[in-house]
Chain A
Amino acid sequence: MDAFVLQILNGLDKGGSYALIALGLTLIFGTLGVVNFAHGALFMLGAFCAVTLKKILTISKQVKDENITFFDAYKEVPYLELWWGETGTTIIDFAVPLSILLAIPVMLLVGLAMERGLIRFFYKRTHAEQILVTFGLAIVLQEIVKAFFGANPVPMPPPELLTGSADVGSFLGLGDSVIYPWWRLAYLVFAGIIIAAVFCFLRFTTFGMVVRAGMQDRETVGLLGINIERRFTIVFGIAAVVSGLAGVMYTPIVPPDYHLGMDFLVLSFVVVVVGGMGSLGGAVTAGFLLGILQSFASMNEVKEILPGIDQIIIFLVAVVILLVRPRGLMGRKGVMES
């Protein structure tokens, strides 16, 4: 029973991250119709917003270790701590959550620049060309990050307050062996908030209504005298922010490196397609579904019956769903088909 509850939690947590990553992609891919292979790179850039802020906050006074003569080795004391003592330490400690404030404007700018500078010329081009250009862009972004931060993962601990584990078991009345890290619970809540925010934005604002209309029928909306182009640019910016924030919050779970984006690229496409093209709800549902199934497939009991199942479960589910439901879970007819 405990194991079961824990895997549900794992599944929700994984699902939260998959849904969040897929959410940004589905806005770009499912609604604007651009096969964006640079989506993983946006996720990675978000993560490196956090790394950058941490680096800035921990600019340090370097005290040379005189015992080492062959090269310069330093004991580093961040200036923030020198100047503000405890307060400084606390600020550094909260580097990851604070990065959200940095990531929002940065990712918005990145998104807008990307759309205006490159993507908008590719709305009418073939998917093959979209793939080539966005893949090229992804490599370039990735190499730039590598040039600045190296190839090694960068450790990004969560704030002290959110380290350690919550005693979920006692809360649910299951005994104390069901514990779950605070940060992962925080991630789940965060994912819920972002997903809800994006939904509300598209559902309850005029802007969202126009965008949804544009997704259905771009030409008619344009004929009504609405500048749909402008709105699509903003959607792209929002998608970049969502992906970036997913990246920021993920850093304490997986220490980021420049290759992080590529690792998530295939997965995010699978989630979006399984959810169904053009459906935000589908992407979120598929994210949680795949997360939970993956967690259960990894249980030892399951692996004993089906060895290797945890390696392929996501793809297996994708195949089955696409065969049973031709347009994924909630896909609309006519999106990305011909």
Chain B
Amino acid sequence: MTNTTNKFKLSRRKLLTSAAAAGAGAAVFSGATPYSFVKGAYAADFRNDPGSQSFVKLGFNVPQTGAYADEGADELRAFQLAVKHLNGEGDGGMLNTLKPSSLKGNGILGKKVEYVTGDTQTKSDAARASAKRMIEKEGVTMFSGGSSSGVAIAVQSLAQEMGIIFMCGLTHSNDTTGKDRRRYGFRHFFNAYQSGAALGPVLKDEMGTERRAYHLTADYTWGWSQEESIKNTTEGLGWETVNTVKTPVGAGDFSQYITPVLNSGADVLILNHYGKDMVNSLTQAVQFGLRDKQVNGKNFEIIVPLFSRLMAQGAGENIKGILGSTNWNWTLQDAGSQAFVKSFGQEYGFPPSQAAHTCYVQTLLYANACEMAGTFYPPEVIKALEDFEFDGMGNGPTLYRGEDHQCFKDVLVVRGNANPSTQFDLLEIVQQVPRSQVEYDASIFGGELGPYEV
């Protein structure tokens, strides 16, 4: 335990706390270095100021156990790669393609980057516990990671309370940068609204305007958020929504929800499921012969609005020909994606997933913002990230919107590859939907970022 990095900002509240803590247990601090108020570049001191240390610590909080452990492992690989590149080791990856870039390849602000890891277990409580360890014990200045919106939102509000920046990993719910947005939380990943907006025109081209859709939706916040977004899009195209059915999370066997689809007169099934639920429901829907069906004189279609390569792997053959959207795919040909795939591939022997991509990019963006701000002082770093326009990170010109901390960039509409040329070639890019098409007004979801200073 070190208290050297644990400095408190001078405020009435914090003084109260420290006074109370000191009063209740003077012994606590007697063994460790007494904490002191060192003047930083900005008059105010802040939590976990690296001060005069030669290094800066980042926290990577990913699911290491549970259903998303593989995704978490891939995120961790990306983080480690990002740290390497930031410290000037390896081939530099996207450090060479980020524009405009203030990164120098000598750590962040001249300090060597170190990292700590933790297990979120894809549970809000465990994720917050792990994040608190990183903040209270390890003294990280930023933490990142995660594979679910519930966790991202829970951890993001912790970030706000503690005054440590959280760069979201994979989280797709509108709420993360919508009604639950926080000043200290930033999301590079796209969201359900953008999935809908991107899929709309492609669906119109491929399936026409006279379709009857049936939704199966995971019964929790992300599922509802996606159902609503996709429903709005498809109804905008003139499709009719036959029914929306909620399914329990982790149902395993979805047969009792799939059979009613057979007689509903619907000709499109939309699966608002993610992870294991999606693998199961898709496998079973295909098994029930839905894809061989003809309804209303049209081929029955299945849509999975949020795709990932790891999920495609789990669903195997069943994914072939299924439409969906994704944040990024390793087959993209732009310089940034190529640079990232190259260094990731050479390091680990296989291509990165979209979760890895977003985590890698987030780490670089945070480092870059610190360089731009010239300090680790969170309010300044936040200001540097807000409304930052950049390119060369794989999704074309991108804006980190200041109003809600959501990134706006191109979104990919993909299809399960019918004839994969290799074991990794599971998704084929149908269209790179331009950023202008997935933009929306920040006020539509409500929510408030909260203060810079905490």
The reply, when asked whether chain A contacts chain B directly with Cβ atoms under 8 A, is: yes
Q: Which residues of A contact B (CB under 8 A)?
A: 2-3, 6-7, 9-11, 13-14, 17, 65, 67-68, 70-76, 146, 150-158, 163-165, 177-181, 183-184, 252-255, 257, 259, 263-264, 294-295, 298-300, 303, 310-311
Partner of A181, one of B248, B288, B342, B345: B288
Contact A14 B248 (CB under 8 A): no
CA distance A9 to B262 in the complex (A): 14
Contact A151 B341 (CB under 8 A): no
Contact B288 A254 (CB under 8 A): no
The answer to whether A165 and B425 touch (CB under 8 A), given A14-B253, A300-B260, is: no
B276 to chain A, nearest CB (A): 6
For B64, the closest partner residue in chain A by CB is A151
Contact A259 B423 (CB under 8 A): no
Q: How big is chain B's contact interface, by range?
A: 35 or more
User: Which chain A residues lie closer than 8 Å to B252 at the CB level?
Assistant: 254, 263-264
CA distance A295 to B62 in the complex (A): 36
Contact A71 B350 (CB under 8 A): yes
Contact A299 B70 (CB under 8 A): no
The answer to whether A6 and B70 touch (CB under 8 A), given A73-B423, A154-B314, A263-B252, is: no
CA distance A299 to B247 in the complex (A): 11
Contact B248 A165 (CB under 8 A): no
Partner of B263, one of A3, A259, A295: A3
B422 to chain A, nearest CB (A): 4
Contact B341 A70 (CB under 8 A): yes
User: Which chain A residues lie closer than 8 Å to B68 at the CB level?
Assistant: 151
User: Which chain B residues lie closer than 8 Å to A165 at the CB level?
Assistant: 287-289
CA distance A6 to B344 in the complex (A): 48
For A256, the closest partner residue in chain B by CB is B314
CA distance A82 to B60 in the complex (A): 45
The answer to whether A152 and B255 touch (CB under 8 A), given A73-B423, A74-B422, is: no
CA distance A157 to B423 in the complex (A): 17
User: Which chain B residues lie closer than 8 Å to A73 at the CB level?
Assistant: 351, 422-425
User: Which chain B residues lie closer than 8 Å to A6 at the CB level?
Assistant: 259-260, 262-263
Q: Would you call B96 an interface residue if the criterion is a C-beta within 8 Å of the partner chain's C-beta atoms? A: no
Q: Would you call B202 an interface residue if the criterion is a C-beta within 8 Å of the partner chain's C-beta atoms? A: no
Contact B317 A155 (CB under 8 A): yes
Contact A146 B69 (CB under 8 A): yes
Contact A151 B67 (CB under 8 A): yes
Q: Would you call B52 an interface residue if the criterion is a C-beta within 8 Å of the partner chain's C-beta atoms? A: no
Contact A75 B422 (CB under 8 A): yes
Q: Would you call B66 an interface residue if the criterion is a C-beta within 8 Å of the partner chain's C-beta atoms? A: yes
B248 to chain A, nearest CB (A): 5
Contact B425 A70 (CB under 8 A): no
CA distance A333 to B344 in the complex (A): 63
Contact B423 A74 (CB under 8 A): yes
- Which 8 pairs between the two chains have the least Cβ-Cβ distance? A155-B316, A71-B345, A70-B345, A151-B69, A73-B422, A165-B289, A153-B314, A298-B256
Q: Would you call B18 an interface residue if the criterion is a C-beta within 8 Å of the partner chain's C-beta atoms? A: no
Q: Which of B1-47 contact A (CB under 8 A)?
A: none
User: Which chain A residues lie closer than 8 Å to B245 at the CB level?
Assistant: 300, 303
B62 to chain A, nearest CB (A): 12
User: Which chain A residues lie closer than 8 Å to B276 at the CB level?
Assistant: 153, 257
Contact B346 A70 (CB under 8 A): yes
User: Which chain A residues lie closer than 8 Å to B253 at the CB level?
Assistant: 14, 17, 253-254
Contact A7 B259 (CB under 8 A): yes
Contact A252 B287 (CB under 8 A): yes
Main secondary structure of the interface of B (DSSP, over half): helix
Q: Which of B314-355 contact A (CB under 8 A)?
A: 314-318, 341-342, 344-346, 348-351
Partner of B287, one of A67, A72, A183: A183
Contact B316 A71 (CB under 8 A): no
Contact B284 A253 (CB under 8 A): yes
Contact B422 A263 (CB under 8 A): no
Contact B349 A299 (CB under 8 A): no
For B248, the closest partner residue in chain A by CB is A311
User: Which chain B residues lie closer than 8 Å to A71 at the CB level?
Assistant: 345-346, 348-351
A83 to chain B, nearest CB (A): 21
User: Which chain A residues lie closer than 8 Å to B241 at the CB level?
Assistant: none
Contact B317 A157 (CB under 8 A): yes
Partner of B256, one of A14, A157, A177: A14
Not counting A71-B346, A264-B252, a sample of 11 additional A-B residue pairs whose C-beta atoms are within 8 angstroms of each other reads A2-B263, A65-B422, A70-B342, A146-B69, A151-B67, A157-B316, A177-B263, A180-B288, A300-B260, A303-B245, A303-B246
Q: Would you call B279 an interface residue if the criterion is a C-beta within 8 Å of the partner chain's C-beta atoms? A: yes
CA distance A13 to B276 in the complex (A): 21
A116 to chain B, nearest CB (A): 30
Contact B314 A311 (CB under 8 A): no
A40 to chain B, nearest CB (A): 12
10 CB < 8 A contacts A-B: A3-B263, A72-B349, A150-B69, A153-B276, A153-B280, A155-B283, A155-B315, A253-B253, A255-B314, A263-B250
Q: Which of B230-262 contact A (CB under 8 A)?
A: 243, 245-246, 248, 250, 252-253, 255-257, 259-260, 262
CA distance A7 to B263 in the complex (A): 12
User: Which chain A residues lie closer than 8 Å to B318 at the CB level?
Assistant: 155
Q: Would you call B117 an interface residue if the criterion is a C-beta within 8 Å of the partner chain's C-beta atoms? A: no
A192 to chain B, nearest CB (A): 18
User: Which chain B residues lie closer than 8 Å to A65 at the CB level?
Assistant: 421-422
CA distance A303 to B219 in the complex (A): 13
Contact B262 A311 (CB under 8 A): no
User: Which chain A residues lie closer than 8 Å to B219 at the CB level?
Assistant: 311
User: Which chain A residues lie closer than 8 Å to B260 at the CB level?
Assistant: 3, 6, 299-300
User: Which chain B residues lie closer than 8 Å to A310 at the CB level?
Assistant: 248, 256
Q: Would you call B292 an interface residue if the criterion is a C-beta within 8 Å of the partner chain's C-beta atoms? A: yes
B316 to chain A, nearest CB (A): 3
Which has the most chain A C-beta neighbours within 10 Å: B288, B315, B318? B288
User: Which chain A residues lie closer than 8 Å to B418 at the CB level?
Assistant: none
CA distance A73 to B423 in the complex (A): 7
B381 to chain A, nearest CB (A): 32
CA distance A171 to B301 in the complex (A): 27
Contact B255 A14 (CB under 8 A): yes
Partner of A13, one of B255, B421, B423: B255
Contact A254 B280 (CB under 8 A): yes
CA distance A10 to B351 in the complex (A): 40
Which has the most chain A C-beta neighbours within 10 Å: B255, B318, B345? B255
A8 to chain B, nearest CB (A): 10
Partner of B292, one of A153, A164, A254: A164
B286 to chain A, nearest CB (A): 9
